[in-house]
A and B are shown apart, each in its own frame.
Chain A
């Protein structure tokens, strides 16, 4: 059974930092491009970042470039998102999603990040 579990969300002040983690099982993690997708309260989905199987290719949405860093550990079947210089508009549920190609096959249930003073 595929399981994708995000953790690390919470309340942080503007300008602060947070590190999200994603633990995956039930599929060959090292063969999948991994992604972070977020959803602000009551809003639609927004792609945040992707990292290929060997971490060779990494991409970011313009809205987070220079502030967020994606990484992965294939030995631990884990994905990470280091978020710095957080803003109120970064408030969202953050989903970890794995995809064989340029789509998202497996999703976690998400972790809520709230940026507020």
Chain B
């Protein structure tokens, strides 16, 4: 199972919006609405931001939103803040009943 494809890095200025893409295949993202997104600050455990493509857990800011089209998913962060600087990972359920992560995207807030 190959990893989902994410850009290595994205950047944006405070207040702007950015989008992180996550490309899979018909065996994972394309077949299930089980895409989730995680934020990880250096030296910390990952934190769930989005589950089932577009749902936010309790306590997660509505500045974070998710969507999916075909074999690709995306995470949008609006109103960028300095504390959003972190690594972001997508994850999908697969047709082999496994899970697969993306390679991760490093967000820099300029």
In the bound assembly, the distance between CA atoms of A46 and B4 in angstroms comes to 11
Contact (Cβ within 8 A) A110 B36: no
**Which of B9-17, B19-27, B76-84, B98-106 is found at the contact surface with chain A?**
B98-106
Taking a contact as CB atoms under 8 Å apart, the answer to whether A44 and B89 are in contact is yes
Q: Are B52 and A103 in contact (CB under 8 A)?
A: yes
Interface residues of A in 47-101 (CB under 8 A from B): 47, 50, 57, 59-62, 95, 97, 101
Residues of A within 8 Å of B48, CB to CB, are: 103-105
Query: Closest approach, in angstroms, between the C-beta of A105 and any C-beta of chain B?
Result: 6
Over the window 104-117 of chain A, the binary record of Cβ atoms lying under 8 Å from chain B Cβ atoms (1 yes, 0 no) is 11011110000000
Contact residue range for chain A? Answer: 20 to 34
Task: Establish whether residues B47 and A102, one from each chain, have CB atoms under 8 Å apart when the complex forms.
Answer: no
User: How far is B10's CA from A67's CA once the two chains are assembled, in angstroms?
Assistant: 37
Residues facing A in B56-110 (CB within 8 A) are: 57, 87, 89, 91, 93, 96-104
Q: Which residues of B contact A60 (CB under 8 A)?
A: 98
Residues of B within 8 Å of A45, CB to CB, are 38, 40, 46, 89, 91, 101, 104
Contacts of A104 in B (CB 8 A): 36, 38, 46, 48, 91
If A95-B46, A102-B34 touch, whether A44 touches B1 (CB-CB below 8 Å) is no
CB pair A103 B45 closer than 8 Å? no
Chain A residues near B46 (CB-CB < 8 A):
37, 45, 95, 97, 104, 107
Cβ-defined contact, B45 with A62, below 8 A: no
| Candidates B51, B96, B98, B104; contact of A44 at CB < 8 Å | B104
What distance in Å separates the Cβ of A48 from its nearest Cβ neighbour in chain B? 9
Contact present for B52 and A101 (CB under 8 Å): yes
Query: Once the chains bind, are B97 and A59 in contact (CB under 8 Å)?
Result: yes
List 26 A–B pairs whose Cβ atoms lie within 8 Å, in order of A's numbering: A37-B46, A44-B89, A44-B103, A45-B40, A47-B91, A47-B98, A50-B98, A57-B97, A59-B96, A62-B1, A97-B46, A102-B52, A102-B93, A102-B99, A103-B34, A103-B48, A104-B36, A104-B46, A105-B48, A105-B51, A107-B45, A107-B46, A107-B47, A108-B45, A109-B45, A110-B45
